[in-house]
Every structure is written in structure tokens, then in C-alpha cells.
């Protein structure tokens, strides 16, 4: 999970490459580098650390001057972050950047060492650079074809050959790659934000298509060297979508974009008061026949699935499992033809989730993907796709993508309930109306979240923290806890409130912070009892509670009230202060909010 970019045109490529890499830093940020044709020679500059470190190095060593080059921002897998392990990797004849993993690199490396090649890095990528050199016979297309026949694994490769100044070559398998088309300039990139400043026209590259770019020509060739005609897409995101626009961090901006993201995802899918998923392959007949649902995803997307399970089971009364994709794929899951597998993914590229999708398809089960990135692998391979319209999510910690994943869970559950007749038409219409009212309620709540900053200041020094809740509040706690852990580095656990006393309560001592979530009327009294259990053992409690409930204010040290909506929709509002709690805690602790340590946004490795 790295970011690659390439440029060929008439402008100073180093500047454009670094600029593009900045937009891809969410994919990895432990080292970066570029390679540029300078007077028909390839000049490489690379450095461990952030892009600022690369820029500093270039200011000392000299910025490569030229109109064609490739760049890379890395999230280390093979070999620690270091100058040597940074990309681009080179051999006598070429330089490359790579996103993905070469699984058989050890075997290939051994063969190349026998042929006299000397390796300087510990990376799998350098093997590709040397293998390209080994096969190189003056014909880049044939050389690339031989190499992709020999390597196993995933790759998006950007390549420049010394003998072909001002030409860019690229190929992909299981890692994303687009070609950006400009005026007198063309690009390759892992993702659209990298090129958006220069063009919004792009091609999606399919598996093992070989791309050859000059400043005024784009060739996309099949392995038989046939030219492939492709649809030229226009990105609908504007440049602001990929910029901070005055916000201190992308995460904060994305939290505040949630009402709009919800609106864009939901409103076109409600017609005359009823849900309209507008997916041809998801027929009423197919939905009527579904007897069991498996929701498969990772991390935050999986937590959206946990809420989805509750909603589907309560509205439709059909059994719904939520599976972690990395477990599902190796669990020999019991799947039947009457099941539906729902795959949730922001990036649409998560390796485990993609593998789970493929496994479900092999078992002949209909797959429905809920995906944010248009044209991503998961979107392309699933039988049916519902796109979430969150726009680009740049912060590593997911917020608005989670929100729109929830919105699709509600829409889907309502559609299924309608088709199966488990909710009356009036009830479905009522829920759809409530879904349309949500953005305004979110905006109102966002304006009232000043207190959250104060709570963060009270909890920022905690080493451990617990979130507790029941039912939907428990599903939400899992996400609140993950957000806090990943960006503030405070250890936290989410517990089903009733389960604490079966062991974990022994960890509750004086001043241990506990954030209790109580938004569900039928569970309120039970959660209050659990709060009393921890409070009497000294816990410092922050209660996040439905404002409709009468609360004995002495129950918790701090209380934050959530505006009331239908019980099943409460998670949508309740997650907002919890996202902000994680955000402000991270800021107060001086953490790198948008780029937390060891993490990258798109997890394209197992």
C-alpha cells in the first residue's frame, strides 16, 4: 500500500510528482522518492521520512530537472523504511516504482544473484527492477510482458527506460492504477486526487494492460499488443475535495462533510418516499429469495456492518453475520445459494476483503459491494455495487466513509423489508423521510460539539479507556474505540456493557475513564446499572445519552446529550461526538492526526 505517480509533458516534472505524492501520502508515508529524465539520464532522489524530508534532500542535492518522471510514497512491507529501501528502484537500464507485493521475490532474487545481479535493498521491488533489466532486449513492451509472466503477487508498476527518454510505461494487477489525460501531458497515478490539479479526465487500467505514455499520446495495449479502446472517465470531485480548505486536518474536514456525504448518498436513492437502490442486478426477485446475509469487511467498514446487522435483523428478521474479511477467507465459510454476501469497503482495494469477495463468488453466492472508490477492484468484481458518495477520504482514520456505509445499510434494510413485506409501506416511507432529515440534524449537532474538546482535555492523559454500550450502542462503541486507538494511541477497549462483569471489570480502578453510550430506550436501565458498577469502582464516566431520557445527573462525571431520532437511527448522530472526541484527543496529544503511525489508508496486503 504505497502511492505511485508518473508524469510526462512539458513542465518541470519533479514539482508535479511531489505535488501528486502529497495527495497520495494517505497510502503510505514512511519514505518517498522520484526518478526524472535529466538530459536523457535518469536522476533518482529518495529519502526515508515524509515528503518534506525528500524535498529537503533535493534542495541540498539539486532538484532533478526534466519533463518526465515517476514518484513513490511508501508504506514499508519488505525492508524497513530507509533511503536504500525507498523507491524508485533501479538497474542499469531503467527505474521503477511499485505498489503491491511480489510474492515469489525470494526465488527470483536467488536466480538473479546466480546470474550476477547485486542487490542493495531488502525490498521485493528491486527484484522487479533487476528482472526487467535481465529480460530487456531494447523492446520495453516485450520486456514488461515477460516480467509479468514471471512474477506472482500484486503490482501497479511505473517504469522508465533509459533508452526511451520522455516515455512512461505502466502495468497493474490487483493494485490500483489510473492514467490521467491532459493537454500536452499525461499521468499515471494510484488514485485520482494525485492528478486532479492538472486534469479530471482519466482511464481505469485493467489487469495486465500495458500502458505507454508520451506527452501527447496514450497507448493501452493488451498482452497481444492490440490497442484497447477504453472509456474516458471524468472525475466529478473538484480540487477542493482533495484539499484541506482551511480545516486544520483532513479528518476534521471529513467529519464536517458528513451531512453532505449522507445527502449525496441517500437522496438520489429515495424515490416517491421509497428506497430505490437503482442496481439492475439486485432484482426484487433475487432479494425476495435471500435467506441469510453475510457482511464481510475490515476495520471501520466492518463496524458499519455491525450496525447493519442490527438494522437488517430488526427490520427484516433474517439472520445476518458480520465477518472480519481476513477470518472469513480462511474459515471455509458455510455459504448457500440463497445467501447474499455484502462486502463493505471504502477503498475497494483491501486485500482481505477482495479475497473474501472472490471466495464468495467461487461459491456461487451473489455478492453486493458497498464501495466508495469508483472503478476499484471490489466494485469491478462484485455482482452488484452500491456506491457511497463520500468523495475522496484522505485522512487515514475513516469517518465520512463510515457514515455513508451506515446510510447504505439503512437503505438496503428498508428495501429488503419492503420486498419481503416485513415492514408496512407506511413504516418504510416514514423511515425514508427520517433518512432525508438526517443531514440537517447532523449539521445542528456538529455545531453543538464544543464540549467534546473539553472532555478530550480531561481524558487525554489516560493510558487505558473503556467504551461500553449495549445493542446498537455496543456496535458503535467498537468504532469509537478504534478511532481513539488509531489516532491518539490511547489503549481502549469496547465492551458489551453486560459482559464487563465476566472478567474485564477487574481492570476498572480509580479514575479509569469509561465512556458509556446509552441511546436505546429498551436497554437504558440495564446500561445505567452497568455504569453504576464501574462508577462504584472509581471509574470516571462520560455518559453519551439520548436527550429524550431522564438522566440522574449524579450517575456520571460528564454527560453529553444526543438529539433524539428513531432508535434505529441513533448511531448516525451518536458517532459524531465520538469521532470528534478521538480527533481532539489526538490533537491535544500532539499526534499526527491524518497520518497515524504504522498505518496506511489502503491495505492492499494480507
Residues that are catalytic = 2, 601
Of 209, 545, 603, 604, which one interacts with ligand F6R (CB under 6 A)?
603
201 contacts 194 by C-beta, under 8 angstroms: no
365 contacts 337 by C-beta, under 8 angstroms: yes
- Cβ proximity to ligand F6R, 127 vs 603, nearer residue: 603
Q: Measured from the CB of residue 330, what is the shortest distance to ligand F6R in angstroms? A: 18
Q: Which of 358, 368, 346 is nearest to 299 (CA)?
A: 346
286 contacts 366 by C-beta, under 8 angstroms: yes
In angstroms, rounded to a whole number, what is the distance separating the alpha carbons of residues 467 and 477? 6
Contacts (CB under 6 A) with ligand F6R, residues 322-381? 345-347, 350, 353
- Cβ proximity to ligand F6R, 125 vs 398, nearer residue: 398
Contacts (CB under 6 A) with ligand F6R, residues 444-503? 482, 486
- For residues 392 to 411, the per-residue mask of contacts with ligand F6R, x marking binding by CB under 6 A and - elsewhere, is -----xx-------------
Measuring CA to CA, how many Å separate 572 from each of 317, 319, 519, 547, 604? 21, 23, 11, 15, 28
Q: Measured from the CB of residue 486, what is the shortest distance to ligand F6R in angstroms? A: 6
Q: Measured from the CB of residue 345, what is the shortest distance to ligand F6R in angstroms? A: 3
Q: Which of 89, 83, 403, 460 is nearest to 260 (CA)?
A: 403
- Cβ proximity to ligand F6R, 86 vs 347, nearer residue: 347
Contacts (CB under 6 A) with ligand F6R, residues 548-577? none
Q: Measured from the CB of residue 249, what is the shortest distance to ligand F6R in angstroms? A: 14
Strand locations in 450-591 (E)? 464-469, 491-496, 513-518, 540-546, 558-562
Q: Strand 178-181 and strand 201-204: pairing?
A: antiparallel
Q: Measured from the CB of residue 231, what is the shortest distance to ligand F6R in angstroms? A: 24
Q: Measured from the CB of residue 325, what is the shortest distance to ligand F6R in angstroms? A: 8
- Cβ proximity to ligand F6R, 200 vs 300, nearer residue: 300
Residue 88 per-residue DSSP state = P
Q: What is the dihedral of CA 207, 213, 216, 221, to 10 degrees?
A: -40
C-alpha cell at 44: 533518482
In angstroms, rounded to a whole number, what is the distance separating the alpha carbons of residues 534 and 506? 10
Q: To 5 degrees, how large is the angle CA 200–CA 76–CA 41?
A: 65
605 contacts 351 by C-beta, under 8 angstroms: yes
Contacts (CB under 6 A) with ligand F6R, residues 107-136? none
In angstroms, rounded to a whole number, what is the distance separating the alpha carbons of residues 502 and 508? 13
- Cβ proximity to ligand F6R, 128 vs 301, nearer residue: 301
Count of residues engaged in binding ligand F6R, rule: CB under 6 A: 14
Residue with the shortest CB distance to ligand F6R: 299
- Cβ proximity to ligand F6R, 76 vs 396, nearer residue: 396
Q: Strand 217-221 and strand 68-74: pairing?
A: unpaired
Q: Measured from the CB of residue 404, what is the shortest distance to ligand F6R in angstroms? A: 11
- Cβ proximity to ligand F6R, 186 vs 574, nearer residue: 574
Contacts (CB under 6 A) with ligand F6R, residues 229-268? none
Cis ω for the linkage preceding 88 (within 30 of 0): yes
DSSP for 506-545, please give it.
GG--TT-EEEEEE--GGGHHHHHHHHHHHHTTT-EEEEEE
- Cβ proximity to ligand F6R, 390 vs 535, nearer residue: 390
Strand locations in 306-365 (E)? 320-324, 339-345
DSSP bridge pairs for 582: none
- For residues 264 to 303, the per-residue mask of contacts with ligand F6R, x marking binding by CB under 6 A and - elsewhere, is ----------------------------------xxxx--
In angstroms, rounded to a whole number, what is the distance separating the alpha carbons of residues 121 and 531? 54
Q: Measured from the CB of residue 103, what is the shortest distance to ligand F6R in angstroms? A: 21
Chain residues in the site for ligand F6R (CB under 6 A): 298-301, 345-347, 350, 353, 397-398, 482, 486, 603
Amino acid at each position: 500500500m504505497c502511492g505511485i505517480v508518473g508524469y510526462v509533458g512539458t513542465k518541470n516534472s519533479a514539482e508535479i510528482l511531489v505535488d501528486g505524492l502529497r495527495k497520495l501520502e494517505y497510502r503510505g508515508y514512511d519514505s518517498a522518492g522520484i526518478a526524472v529524465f535529466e538530459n536523457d539520464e535518469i536522476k533518482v532522489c529518495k529519502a526515508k521520512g515524509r515528503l518534506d524530508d525528500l524535498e529537503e534532500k533535493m534542495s541540498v542535492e539539486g532538484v532533478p530537472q526534466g519533463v518526465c518522471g515517476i514518484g513513490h510514497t511508501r508504506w514499508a512491507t519488505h525492508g524497513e523504511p530507509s533511503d536504500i529501501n525507498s523507491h524508485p528502484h533501479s538497474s542499469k537500464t531503467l527505474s521503477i516504482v511499485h505498489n503491491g507485493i511480489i510474492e515469489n521475490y525470494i526465488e527470483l532474487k536467488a536466480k538473479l544473484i546466480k546470474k550476477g545481479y547485486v542487490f542493495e535493498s531488502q525490498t521485493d521491488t528491486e527484484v522487479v527492477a533487476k528482472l526487467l533489466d535481465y529480460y530487456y532486449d531494447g523492446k520495453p513492451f516485450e520486456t514488461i510482458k515477460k516480467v509479468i509472466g514471471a512474477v506472482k503477487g500484486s503490482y501497479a508498476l511505473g517504469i522508465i527506460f533509459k533508452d526511451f527518454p520522455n516515455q512512461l510505461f505502466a502495468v497493474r494487477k490487483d493494485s490500483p492504477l489510473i492514467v490521467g489525460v491532459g493537454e500536452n501531458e499525461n499521468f499515471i497515478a494510484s488514485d485520482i486526487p494525485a492528478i486532479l490539479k492538472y486534469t479530471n479526465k482519466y482511464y481505469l487500467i485493467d489487469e495486465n494492460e500495458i500502458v505507454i505514455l508520451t506527452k501527447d499520446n496514450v497507448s493501452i495495449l493488451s498482452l497481444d499488443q492490440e490497442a484497447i479502446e477504453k472509456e474516458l472517465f471524468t472525475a466529478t470531485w473538484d480540487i477542493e475535495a482533495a484539499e484541506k480548505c482551511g480545516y486544520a486536518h483532513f479528518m476534521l474536514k471529513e467529519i464536517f462533510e458528513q451531512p453532505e456525504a449522507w445527502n449525496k448518498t441517500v437522496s438520489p436513492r429515495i424515490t416517491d418516499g421509497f428506497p430505490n437502490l437503482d442496481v439492475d442486478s439486485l432484482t426484487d426477485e433475487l432479494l425476495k429469495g435471500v435467506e441469510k446475509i453475510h457482511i464481510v469487511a475490515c476495520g471501520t467498514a466492518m463496524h458499519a456492518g455491525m450496525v447493519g446487522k442490527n438494522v437488517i435483523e430488526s427490520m427484516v428478521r433474517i439472520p445476518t453475520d458480520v465477518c472480519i474479511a481476513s477470518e472469513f477467507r480462511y474459515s471455509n465459510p458455510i455459504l448457500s445459494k440463497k445467501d447474499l454476501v455484502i462486502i463493505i469497503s471504502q477503498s475497494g482495494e483491501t486485500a482481505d476483503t477482495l479475497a473474501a469477495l472472490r471466495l464468495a463468488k467461487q461459491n456461487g453466492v451473489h455478492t453486493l459491494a458497498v464501495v466508495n472508490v469508483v472503478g476499484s477492484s471490489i466494485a469491478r468484481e462484485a455482482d452488484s455495487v452500491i456506491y457511497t458518495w463520500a468523495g475522496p477520504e484522505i485522512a487515514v482514520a475513516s469517518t465520512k466513509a463510515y457514515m455513508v456505509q451506515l446510510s447504505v445499510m439503512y437503505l438496503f434494510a428498508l428495501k429488503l423489508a419492503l420486498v419481503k413485506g416485513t415492514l408496512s409501506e407506511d413504516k418504510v416511507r416514514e423511515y425514508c423521510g427520517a433518512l432525508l432529515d438526517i443531514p440537517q440534524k447532523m449539521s445542528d449537532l456538529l455545531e453543538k460539539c464544543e464540549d467534546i474538546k473539553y472532555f478530550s482535555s480531561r481524558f487525554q492523559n489516560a493510558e487505558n479507556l473503556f467504551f461500553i454500550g449495549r445493542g446498537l450502542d455496543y456496535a458503535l462503541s467498537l468504532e469509537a474505540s478504534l478511532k481513539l486507538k488509531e489516532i491518539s494511541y490511547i489503549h481502549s477497549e469496547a465492551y458489551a456493557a453486560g459482559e464487563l462483569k465476566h472478567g474485564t471489570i477487574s481492570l476498572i480502578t480509580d479514575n479509569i475513564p469509561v465512556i458509556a453510550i446509552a441511546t436505546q430506550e429498551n436497554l437504558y436501565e440495564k446500561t445505567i446499572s452497568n455504569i453504576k458498577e464501574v462508577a462504584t469502582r472509581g471509574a470516571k464516566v462520560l455518559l453519551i445519552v439520548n436527550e429524550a431520557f431522564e438522566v440522574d445527573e449524579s450517575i456520571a462525571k460528564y454527560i453529553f446529550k444526543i438529539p433524539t431520532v428513531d432508535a434505529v437511527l441513533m448511531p448516525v448522530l451518536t458517532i459524531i461526538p465520538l469521532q470528534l472526541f478521538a480527533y481532539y484527543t489526538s490533537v491535544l496529544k500532539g499526534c499526527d492526526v491524518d497520518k497515524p503511525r504504522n498505518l496506511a489508508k489502503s491495505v492492499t496486503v494480507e
